[in-house]
Amino acid sequence: MGSVTPPSRAGTILLAVVVGIAGVAIAVVSLGANSYGHVAGSIPYAGQISAPTDLAYDSNNGNLYASQAGSNNVSVMSTASGRTIDEIPVQPPQPGPIPGQGTTNSIAVDPEDHAVFVSSPWNITVIDDRTNAVETRIGDVGVMALVYDSIDDEVFAHQASDVTVINGSTDQVVTSIPVGGTNASWSPMVFDPVQDQVLVGTWGPEGCSQNCSPNPIVIIDARSNTIVGSFTTPSFPAGLAVDPDNNNLYVASGFYVDPSAPGEVSVYSLVDDRLLKNIPTDPSAIGNRPIAFDPVNGYIYAATSTGQYGNNLTVIDGATNTLAGTIRLPSEDEAIAVDPADGQVYVGTWGSQGVTIVSSEPAFAGLLEWQALLIFALGVPAAVAAASLGAIRQLRRTAVYLGPGTKNKRA
């Protein structure tokens, strides 16, 4: 497990009213000083997985799909049961990091068509999320990064110096867009639902191998599938996230390919592509990569690697673009996925630690459920106890942290 470093703002007090035979009992529960999340558990790996290359959450079935380094499989993890429920072989054995095996890379979920797209060095595999069976394979060229466009129902696939556009309904290639750059191995993409555009991170000019500059972020109009602009970042854009509430782009800079990059997240306006500020993540960081926006609480979570014994999740408040705090993780963080309905953050880590669950749900919720059950056990009529429990569970679904500097997006 991990420990949470609290920010410097005051905690929140919540009053819970429970009805019983003797009248009204008021439980005063402190949520603590932390409003941006805490480590709430983990989902253990199964099979061959020890290093997830990507994680994606599927809102249709509540499952996580994890691609794997050194494996031809995709792991399917149930967030309801907290265990791995399936291993899907998406490729025949191919040469890779481990002899006789390959590597699955990026994952994009198309909930509209019940499809999970998985990239590999050889092609794209499409999985039906209702059966977890392989439906088809697309192309014969290696793909590293994938992103789903929920407005136009298309999947964008970054391969080498091109982006291929795939129709989500037919799985057919629509077009290919040259974006330049020298390497797509760590080049991220993100979909911007406000402007209906896809932003593609590229790594330096063609032929560059290390400490490359400039590093353009290419802007693709998803309606016309054409390039409409670009802007450069001072260091390699290793991770991208969009906050549609403030119309900002968050760029995690640095990774092992660029040792000179600072450990920071840069904030750009998506209105005019202007740099707004640089947010330091950790002075000892040797790299940032995965980064994700949580639409429930409005925070941005950035994975920060500081070496074998120091791995944090940096949390940025999207309302103020300031550092909210850090969450200590058990091992190096490689991938992040967010459940947009309840705000759970899932972090894929190296080794046997599994997927770490970071919850933004108030810590009082489970305690109050136990209080309602205790009332029933002490002889309160079943209808009253059931009503109390139902009201408490409704509170869990609707209430997010109400403390200073937070957002309540479910109210």
> How far, in Å, CA of 318 to CA of 198, rounded?
20
- Which 8-state DSSP code applies to residue 344? -
Q: Alpha-carbon distance 277 to 249, whole Å?
A: 11
What local confidence, expressed as pLDDT, does residue 58 receive? 97
| Torsion angle of the four alpha carbons 155, 160, 161, 163, in this order, in degrees rounded to the nearest 10 | -10
Instruction: Report the mean per-residue pLDDT for the chain.
Output: 74
Q: What is the DSSP letter of 111?
A: G
What string of H, E and C letters represents the secondary structure of 188-217?
CEEEECCCCEEEEECCCCCCCCCCCCCEEE
pLDDT at position 175 over 60: yes
Please report the domains of the chain, with CATH numbers, ordered by start residue: 4-34+363-398 (no CATH), 51-284 (2.130.10.10)
Decide if pLDDT at 374 tops 50: no
pLDDT band at 104 (very low <50, low <70, confident <90, very high): confident
Collect all residues with Cβ–Cβ distance below 8 Å to 287 and sequence separation of at least 6.
238, 254, 255, 256, 261, 263, 304, 305
Between CA 383 and CA 163 the distance in angstroms is 58
Asked if 189 and 201 count as a contact pair (C-beta separation under 8 A), the reply is: yes
- Contact status, residue 346 vs residue 316, Cβ threshold 8 Å: no
- From the list 163, 185, 196, 156, the residue with the least C-alpha distance to 69 is 185
CB 74 within 8 A of CB 85: no
> What local confidence, expressed as pLDDT, does residue 380 receive?
52
Whether residue 195 has pLDDT greater than 90: yes
Give the count of beta carbons closer than 10 Å to the beta carbon of residue 377: 9
Q: What is the CA radius of gyration of the chain?
A: 22
Report how many helices (DSSP H) and strands (DSSP E) the chain contains, helices first: 2, 31
Which range is most confident: 3-12, 99-108, 252-261? Answer: 99-108
Q: Which two tokens stand for residue 335?
A: 């991938």
CB atoms within 10 A of CB 344: 20
Q: What is the pLDDT of residue 318?
A: 95
pTM of the prediction? 0.77
**φ, ψ for residue 342, nearest 5 deg:** -115, 0
What pLDDT, on a 0 to 100 scale, did the predictor assign at position 288? Answer: 53
Rounded CA separation 188/216 (Å): 12
pLDDT band at 409 (very low <50, low <70, confident <90, very high): very low
Residues 315 and 38: their CA atoms lie apart, in Å, by 11
- The pLDDT, as a whole number, for residue 282 is 63
The single residue listed with the structure tokens 């805490």 is 38
What residues does 64 pair with on adjacent strands?
Answer: 57, 77
Q: Are 363 and 381 in contact (CB under 8 A)?
A: no
Percent of the chain with pLDDT over 90: 39
Give the pLDDT confidence score for residue 149 in this predicted structure. 98
Whether 267 has a pLDDT exceeding 60, the answer reads: yes
**10 vs 13: CA distance, rounded Å:** 10
Mean pLDDT of 320-343: 86
With a CB cutoff of 8 Å and minimum separation 6, the contacts of 231 are 216, 217, 219, 268, 273
Q: Three-state DSSP class for 174?
A: strand
pLDDT tier, 12 (very low <50, low <70, confident <90, very high otherwise): very low
pLDDT digit string, tens, across residues 226-246: 999 999 887 778 889 999 999
* Closest residue by Cα to residue 48 from 34, 31, 63, 69: 69
What integer pLDDT is reported at residue 33 of this predicted model? Answer: 40
Query: Where is pLDDT greater, at 390 or 20?
Result: 390
- Residues 274-315 pLDDT 10s: 999 998 876 555 555 789 999 999 999 988 765 544 478 889
Query: In 3D, which of 60, 56, 231 has the Cα closest to residue 155?
Result: 56
